[in-house]
């Protein structure tokens, strides 16, 4: 049990540390390089490689990803509650493994969704190129 809890804790600590590091690095980028980096990872297949997406399009795509992560986190909490209830009736000893793993997955998904929220806020502060 101790090794299992230790592994979950390490994964969560790594997620927190990496989220903070990524936010620190991206917050120091000027607007144009930030747009280019975000475009590289949020560009659709078949899009031009040299074309930088406008901030409003990047905001829309990040918001969609953030919603998906929030739904995933809610599903993980619901599955953890359901599995905990089922395991409580069938095998009470398994509850201490099942519920924390689902809750850790939900926490990690919400941490990454928080990073997306801060990026959306950063993109909101940028002026649109057409304006």
Question: Which H, E and C letters describe the chain, residue by residue?
Answer: CHHHHHHHHHHHHHHHHHHHHHHHHHHCCCHHHHHHHHHHHHCCCCCCCCCCCCHHHHHHHHHHHHHHHHHHHHHHHHHHHHHHHHHHHHCHHHHHHHHHHHHHHHHHHHHHHHHHHHHHHHHHCCCCCCC
Residue 101 belongs to some domain of the structure: yes
Is residue 45 a part of any domain in this protein? no
Number of domains in the chain: 1
Report if residue 20 sits inside a domain.
no
Please state, rounded to an integer, the average pLDDT across all residues of the chain. 84
Residue 67 is predicted with a pLDDT of: 94
Q: Is residue 85 over pLDDT 90?
A: no
- Residue 44 included in any domain: no
- Is 50 within the bounds of a domain? no
Give the number of other CB atoms < 10 A from CB of residue 105: 20
**Residue 104's closest CA among 26, 7, 38, 20?**
7
Q: Domain limits at 96?
A: 66-131
Per cent of the chain over pLDDT 90 is 17
What does the alpha-carbon distance between residue 131 and residue 127 come to, in Å, rounded to a whole number?
7
- Average pLDDT estimate for 70-94: 81
73 has a pLDDT exceeding 80: yes
Return the pLDDT at 50. Answer: 65
Give me the residue label for tokens 């795509």: 61
Domain assignment present for 58:
no
């Amino acid at each position: 049990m101790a090794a299992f809890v230790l592994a979950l804790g390490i994964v969560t600590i790594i997620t927190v540390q990496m989220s903070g590091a990524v936010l620190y690095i991206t917050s120091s980028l000027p607007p144009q390089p930030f747009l280019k980096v975000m475009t590289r990872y949020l560009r659709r297949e078949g899009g031009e490689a040299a074309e930088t997406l406008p901030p409003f399009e990047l905001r829309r795509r990040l918001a969609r990803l953030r919603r998906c992560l929030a739904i995933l986190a809610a599903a993980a909490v619901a599955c953890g509650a359901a599995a905990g209830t089922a395991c409580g009736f069938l095998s009470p000893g398994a509850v201490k493994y099942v519920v924390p793993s689902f809750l850790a997955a939900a926490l990690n998904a919400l941490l990454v969704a928080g990073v997306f929220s801060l990026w959306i806020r950063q993109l909101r502060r940028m002026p649109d190129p057409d304006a």
